[in-house]
Amino acid sequence: MRKVAILGIGQTKIDEQWDKSLREIGGEAAFAAMQDAGVDKVDALFVGNMLSPLIDGQNQLGTFLADWIGLWNKEAVKIEAACGSGAAALRAGLMAVASGDIESALVVGVEKMTDKAGHDITAALASAADADYEVEQGVSFVGINALVMRRYMHEFGWKHSDFAPFSINSHANAIHNPFARLHEKITLDKFEKSSMVATPINLLDASPIGDGAAAVVIVPAEKVASLAGRPRVVIAASAFSTDTLAVHSRKDPLFLSAAYESAKRCYEMAGVGIKDIDVFELHDAFSIMSALSLEACGFADRGQGPRLGLDNAITVKGQIPICTRGGLKARGHPVGATGIYQIVEVVQQLRGECGETQVDGAKIGMAQNIGGSGASIITHILKAD
Amino acid sequence: MRKVAILGIGQTKIDEQWDKSLREIGGEAAFAAMQDAGVDKVDALFVGNMLSPLIDGQNQLGTFLADWIGLWNKEAVKIEAACGSGAAALRAGLMAVASGDIESALVVGVEKMTDKAGHDITAALASAADADYEVEQGVSFVGINALVMRRYMHEFGWKHSDFAPFSINSHANAIHNPFARLHEKITLDKFEKSSMVATPINLLDASPIGDGAAAVVIVPAEKVASLAGRPRVVIAASAFSTDTLAVHSRKDPLFLSAAYESAKRCYEMAGVGIKDIDVFELHDAFSIMSALSLEACGFADRGQGPRLGLDNAITVKGQIPICTRGGLKARGHPVGATGIYQIVEVVQQLRGECGETQVDGAKIGMAQNIGGSGASIITHILKAD
């Protein structure tokens, strides 16, 4: 398959955007990416979104957004893999460009979640779990993650405060990201005193929802070889793997096998090892997921993920910087958009556009987007060349 | 891009399947396709579905179904383009195999619609229209199509009974399809006396919903060159085009520009003209759509679609046989599954497996799947070689 580059990026601030409709938010990111790419048309649109049928009563989001941005008579389709929808949409666009069938694609992740009175967001998010065998029993999505975190703490002997560095790091980095939802430095004390959501997950273990959209324009890499002024960012690897839908079906509920598989395939495809990864935008929907993702991708031994936080290895100056723009925890988590925010942020790092949270000399970055409780995991490795 | 072949097909009967869950229905078609293909594993799963978030409270349908059929640690994703979801999923799978990233894919269209007490199917289907500017005004999906049909009759001087042949043909063909929902021969008299749904659309202008799933296994064409016993069916062309989401935004609400564009691209890609198409599985969700689809794809002049029905050109022995297995009208329309049923039926024709409704010597077939009121249209041309 031919190599594909990311020519342009765009994003909106993640916030309560009550003054803007779903299409306006998506359009804002789409136009920003096209402007950044310097193009005024593309061959196709791929939209990552999870909740618009449930929250907005809107299906057919590909055509919905294509129509709004004036992209008529082109392909436009929606991809859904729960909270992994964004990266899944990128992968669909990547396949179409890589196949040679189209020459450019706009990929947009968009979600509007905060102002829908009468809709229960917790119930809508539970649609990522197994409706017949998990949700029917009354368990919410945060509830499932709480069970996993509790078991992890028991199994490996960690206490709740050991997870604080994940949250503190994301919050510290988000302060320098104008698109982040939360701009509030937190401390260990604040972390420990935060309100409980589902024991042991408290408010500062959990990422906030939000309204937002992020977008990228992708084209065959050979077409941007001559682009001057900034490094060319290519998609060096892309892999999608799945686990059982329900956590209770897994032989080992504390190991993200789909993260392991998709990362392994990406390392092979990109021809890199874990030591080559300069920045890792992981899916810290809950602090436990940071630990599990780092372990499954090879950055920590089993049960030792929190150690990387306690040793300051995850900060911008650390051995494996994560969530350098605030992660899901502080940048915010508009679910179907998150995967594209992660890609946009890795591109920013590889272009050297991250200011205070720039990772020195970043050349290779990884993004990992998770749908459900580890059920659908999509990993990408980007390279600056 | 490398050429891709359809190695296996599978389908369930379309019916009220109250004794089977969504995953059981999808699994049944998936296993049937894998058995027909003679494979016991594939690299990836692409699922076309529209309504599971709204009706079943279930998102992440790719992983949901992959888990059920034991396809762990593989890619699995859901594609949604309203009633065009099935063909959109095939196209996503096609791109992935054509790119060289994967060597095989299972594509499943699945929908369960009939036994969900407390859910308003008419409201759920309206999510294919524009929630802000159409549905908010109280218009249903059949209502939109009724406005289009009324305008068409006024503009081109047709009376309601002129559309009867579309319905009569689909019903006549479905009698010989064991997977069809309706096995009832209808007459012009029955057609005219049928209950009104939304003037001028009556019950026999409209396709019935249903529970059902259809599936195909696709692989690189060069891998099946040696398959003996039956013709190899290749995907000669695939194209996806869109129009405005809302009918009221179109310059001409009586022309399916996305059908025109996607069919035109397919003719070019496959190197065929309309005279080469031996069979055409079109999207007769409502009888007016049969006329509009035939016109946009070049089989009839503007406003003259009903003439093909009145002249018996659409029957199995006619100039352009359509809906040879019953079409949406009588085979049934489990919305997100329909696009794959159409593909399965074209494959059956090209393999010569259609018995009483076999089109003699069929070598080239076209399938056209429509999402929304002509908003998302995906066309495929298959060839037997």
Chain A CB contacts of B101 under 8 Å are 1, 95, 98, 238
B242: β partners: B376
Going from N- to C-terminal start, the domains of chain B cover 4-119+210-224, 137-207+235-384
Q: What is the pLDDT of residue B230?
A: 84
- Cα B271 to Cα A24, A43, A272, B258, B339, distances in angstroms: 40, 21, 43, 20, 23
Enumerate the residues of chain B whose CB falls inside 8 A of the CB of residue A239: 75
Question: pLDDT 10s digit of each residue in chain B, 385 long?
Answer: 899 999 999 999 999 999 999 999 999 999 999 999 999 999 999 999 999 999 999 999 999 999 999 999 999 999 999 999 999 999 999 999 999 999 999 999 999 999 876 668 989 999 999 999 999 999 999 999 999 999 999 999 999 999 999 999 999 999 999 999 999 999 999 999 999 999 999 999 999 999 999 999 999 999 886 555 789 999 999 999 999 999 999 999 999 999 999 999 999 999 999 999 999 999 999 999 999 999 999 999 999 999 999 999 999 999 999 999 999 999 999 999 999 999 999 999 999 999 999 999 999 999 999 999 999 999 999 999 8
**10 Å Cβ neighbour count for A302?**
13
pLDDT score, position A297: 98
Cross-chain CB nearest to B81 (options A51, A60, A132): A60
Say yes or no for a CB contact (<8 Å) between B127 and A244: no
Q: How many CB pairs under 8 A join A and B?
A: 211
- DSSP alpha helix (H) spans, A161-286: 164-174, 188-193, 257-270
Q: What are the tens digits of pLDDT across the range B57-71? A: 999 999 999 999 999
pLDDT band for position A358 (50/70/90)? very high
- Confidence label for A226 from pLDDT (cuts 50, 70 and 90): low
**Quick one: which H or E segment has residue A293?**
helix A287-296
Structure tokens at B11: 């389908």
d(CA A114, CA A20): 11
CA distance to partner chain B, nearest, from residue A80 (Å): 5
Task: Say whether B63 and A95 touch across the interface (CB within 8 A).
Answer: no
Q: How confident is the model at residue A230 (pLDDT cuts 50, 70, 90)?
A: confident
- Minimum distance, in Å, between the CA of residue B347 and any CA atom of chain A: 23
Report the CATH number of the A4-119+210-224 domain: 3.40.47.10
Contacts of B378 (CB under 8 A, 6+ apart): B81, B84, B87, B88, B90, B91, B238, B239, B240, B262, B339, B368, B369, B371
| Nearest Cα residue in chain B from A96 | B95
Cα A70 to Cα A73: distance, rounded to the nearest angstrom: 9
pLDDT value, residue A326: 98
Give me chain A's average pLDDT, please: 96
Tokens 């939000």 -> residue: A210
Strand bridging mode B75-80 / B105-111: unpaired
Give me the mean pLDDT over the A1-26 stretch: 96
Q: Return the active site residues of B.
A: 83, 333
Characterize the bridge pairing of strands A233-242 and A201-202: unpaired
Cα dihedral A196/A201/A203/A205 (nearest 10)? 160
Do residues B41 and B21 make contact, with C-beta atoms less than 8 angstroms apart? no
- Name the phi and psi angles at A383, rounded to 5: -130, 140
| The predicted structure's pLDDT at residue A120 | 86
Looking at domain B137-207+235-384, its CATH architecture is 3-Layer(aba) Sandwich (3.40)
Which is the catalytic residue, given A266, A283, A323, A333?
A: A333
Q: How confident is the model at residue A385 (pLDDT cuts 50, 70, 90)?
A: confident
Mean pLDDT computed over A17-31: 97
Which member of A66, A100, A244 has the closest CB to residue B72? A244
The pLDDT, as a whole number, for residue B352 is 96
Cβ(A93)–Cβ(A218) under 8 Å? yes
The residues that bridge with A77 in the sheet, in sequence order, are A46
The pLDDT value recorded for residue A117 is 62
Task: Return the number of other C-beta atoms located less than 10 Å from residue A159's C-beta.
Answer: 10
**Which residues 6+ apart lie within 8 Å of B168 measured at CB?**
B186, B187, B188, B191
DSSP per-residue codes, A150-175: HHHHHHHT--GGGGHHHHHHHHHHHT
Chain B contact set for A21 (CB, 8 A): 132
CA distance A378 to chain B (A): 9
Total Cβ atoms within 10 A of residue A312: 12
A175, A185 Cβ separation under 8 angstroms: yes
ipTM of the complex model: 0.97
Q: What is the pLDDT of residue A116?
A: 74
We find that the CATH architecture of domain A140-207+235-384 is 3-Layer(aba) Sandwich (3.40)
Catalytic-role residue among A83, A266, A297, A354: A83
Contact B77 A62 (CB under 8 A): no
Report pLDDT for A118.
60
pLDDT at position A93 is: 98
As beta bridge partners, residue B378 has B240, B369
pLDDT of residue B226: 53
- Burial (0-12, 13-18, 19+ Cβ within 10 Å), B82: buried
Give mean pLDDT, residues A27-48. 97
Question: Chain A closest CA to B220's CA: distance in Å?
Answer: 13
Selecting from B60, B257, B261 the residue whose C-beta is nearest the C-beta of A128 gives B60
Q: Higher-confidence residue: A383 or A117?
A: A383
Q: Which residues of A touch B380 (CB under 8 A)?
A: none
**Which run of H or E residues covers position A196?**
strand A196-198
Provide the pLDDT for residue B116. Answer: 74
Fold: same for A4-119+210-224 and A140-207+235-384: yes
